Structure 1
Amino acid sequence: MKPTERRKQLLEWLEKEGTLSLAEMVTRFGVTKMTIHRDLGLLERRQALKRIHGGAARLENGAQRGDNHKQIASAQGNCLICYRPPTQQLLYTITKNNGEQQVACCPHCGISAQLMMGDQIAMALTTDFLSGRLHAAQHSFFVLGSVVVPCCKPSILTFSEAEVSERFQKGFGGTLGRFEDAIEFLRKDMSIHDSEGCPHCSGHAAPLGTI
């Protein structure tokens, strides 16, 4: 596929789906991440799309563009659930159907937000706890309730590879699961109160846990 055809196809997908992760684009086109980064850079300079953490989103029309940029900039602040400042090692990002992006300090709060927002979420990216690599939360391998508690309790950690998650679980306990298991794990552990978020951590900003 020629570069011009690839960029055209990319814009068509974004127009239809709203957002795409970098991993999805690499898989669909069968090209390198560097190639996708070049395409996104060119299209962003042409104001044809909006780059977000780990992917891209379609541009809204008119005045909505300025509002969305403000929302995304604001989202780079504290966690939307517990108000802790996020770190790169645990970052969980959420892109809503309207293009708005928000961040959670860790997968625990990210999954809490998934429970609260439901179908409002178009895409979620989470960080591999060991490598620091962002990847789609829906494709992640989770370790649930391990003794490693770098942020909110109960601990939820994400990994991009099954083998790595299995080795970590053998050393630090917890249970293995996928995205749906993490949703059910947190649903059982806590009670969501409308807009109040997770009762374990919302609004308290307690000191970070330790291993």
Structure 2
Amino acid sequence: MSRKEKILEILREKKEVTVKELSNIFKVSEMTIYRDIKELEKEGEIKRKHGSVLLNTKENRETLTVDTCPICEKPITRSHPYKIIVENTKVIEACCEHCGLLLHQKYADKEVSAITYDFITENPISALNAFFVVGSSAVPCCSPSVIPFASREDAEKFQKGFGGKVMTFVEAYNEITNKMNINIKSCCAPQQNVTFKLDDLK
């Protein structure tokens, strides 16, 4: 039985499993498991929730579709979507970090905080302090993909396997919004603040 077949067998038994768990079960890297998952997703066998996978059943499809992205209008299927909290009151979610960065344009003059989730651990992190791999061959949602990590080291490991560029929040924002000719000076980005205004970073 191939590893992919074993993954499906595990999912039939457990219903849902994380990439980290599969990595431990098969004693291979998480990058190797991600490649298997990508193939299974293309074959229509599974659905991905950020950091975990489940079988592509009608029940799961209905459960996953809860809202639509304000940027691309795709269903938001991730259990932990990219979130922007505007002036500590209004919470807006995007389907992925790509659309999340574009969403910041609408609130450039507002004080916001932004939450994303580490691609490997699924732990919440401030988007401003995260490292992103932009434009890799791994495209879990919108293209070019923007994949978040809590540490530069993990981002660089992912980059070695899937390509793309490792960027800070400001660099990733500029990369994704360059068609709008927006240029934020990275040297002005506050590294420790949880809340920020995009206009202040210009």
Normalising by structure 1, we get a TM-score of: 0.51
Residue 177 of structure 1 aligns to a residue whose secondary structure is strand
Residue 129 of structure 1 aligns to a residue whose secondary structure is coil
Alpha-carbon distance in 1 for matches of 2:98, 2:180: 11
Residue 109 of structure 2 aligns to a residue whose secondary structure is helix
Residue 143 of structure 1 contacts residue 157 of structure 1 at CA under 8 Å; is this kept in 2? yes
Partner residue in 1 for 2:142: 152
After superposition, the Cα gap between the structure-2 partners of 1:179 and 1:142, relative to the gap in structure 1 and judged at 3 Å, is same
Unaligned runs of 5+ in 1: 1-75, 193-211
Q: How far off its partner does 1:187 sit? A: 1.7
Alpha-carbon distance in 1 for matches of 2:111, 2:98: 16
2:78 matched to 1:119?
no
Alpha-carbon distance in 1 for matches of 2:91, 2:159: 31
Residue 89 of structure 1 contacts residue 128 of structure 1 at CA under 8 Å; is this kept in 2? no
Could you say what the CA RMSD is over the residues aligned between the two structures, in angstroms? 2.1
2:169 matched to 1:182?
no
Alpha-carbon distance in 1 for matches of 2:69, 2:124: 17
Alpha-carbon distance in 2 for matches of 1:95, 1:156: 20
2:133 matched to 1:143?
yes
Residues 37-61 of structure 1: CA deviation (Å, up to 9, x unaligned): xxxxxxxxxxxxxxxxxxxxxxxxx
Residue 90 of structure 1 contacts residue 105 of structure 1 at CA under 8 Å; is this kept in 2? no
Residues 124-158 of structure 1: CA deviation (Å, up to 9, x unaligned): 00111222222100000110100101100111111
Q: How far off its partner does 1:95 sit? A: 0.6
Could you tell me the percent identity over the aligned residues? 38
Q: How far off its partner does 1:189 sit? A: 4.7
Normalising by structure 2, we get a TM-score of: 0.53
Alpha-carbon distance in 1 for matches of 2:156, 2:124: 19
Alpha-carbon distance in 2 for matches of 1:139, 1:114: 15
Letter in 2 for 1:147: S
Question: Number of aligned pairs?
Answer: 117
Alpha-carbon distance in 2 for matches of 1:111, 1:90: 16
Q: How far off its partner does 1:98 sit? A: 5.7
Residue 120 of structure 1 aligns to a residue whose secondary structure is coil
Partner residue in 2 for 1:59: none
Task: Say which of 34, 57, 77 aligns to 2:67.
Answer: 77
2:85 matched to 1:95?
yes
After superposition, the Cα gap between the structure-2 partners of 1:119 and 1:111, relative to the gap in structure 1 and judged at 3 Å, is same
Alpha-carbon distance in 2 for matches of 1:89, 1:185: 26
**Where does structure 1 differ by over 4 angstroms across 4 or more consecutive aligned residues?**
189-192
Unaligned runs of 5+ in 2: 1-65, 183-202
Residue 115 of structure 1 contacts residue 183 of structure 1 at CA under 8 Å; is this kept in 2? no
Of the structure 1 ranges 183-192 and 130-139, higher mean CA displacement relative to structure 2 is found in 183-192
Matches within 5 A, 1:54-73: none
Alpha-carbon distance in 2 for matches of 1:119, 1:138: 16
Of the structure 1 ranges 83-92 and 134-143, higher mean CA displacement relative to structure 2 is found in 83-92
2:142 matched to 1:162?
no
Letter in 2 for 1:159: F
Alpha-carbon distance in 1 for matches of 2:98, 2:140: 11
Alpha-carbon distance in 2 for matches of 1:126, 1:83: 19
Letter in 2 for 1:102: I
